[in-house]
Amino acid sequence: MISQEKRLIITFRCTTDAIAMEKSCKATGAPGRLIPVPRSISASCGLSWCAPPTSRTTLEKLLQEQDLDSEGIYECII
């Protein structure tokens, strides 16, 4: 059985924004990785940023500093 845990999920309006988030996080050493948007959040296809919930403040600050637009920020078990 696969272990499920609470994760922070940041969704974006388009793939370009998700890729920009990945580049910014890699450049600054921020935690997380790109994953498909979980079905519990949206049935549409697309990419989201997945990270530990403890990194929420850091990632919200990064979004603001890098002028990245997120569609939503969620905490869910995946």
Would you state the pLDDT for residue 2?
A: 65
Q: Are 68 and 11 in contact (CB under 8 A)?
A: no
Taking all residues of the chain, what is their mean pLDDT, rounded to a whole number? 92
Alpha helices in 1-78 (DSSP H): 15-28, 56-65
- Give the list of residues 6+ apart from residue 69 with CB closer than 8 angstroms, or none: 12, 13, 17, 63
pLDDT digits (tens, 9 = 90+) for 36-70: 999 888 766 689 999 999 999 999 999 999 999 99
What is the structure's pLDDT at 71? 92
pTM, rounded to two decimals:
0.91
For position 42, what pLDDT does the model report?
Answer: 79
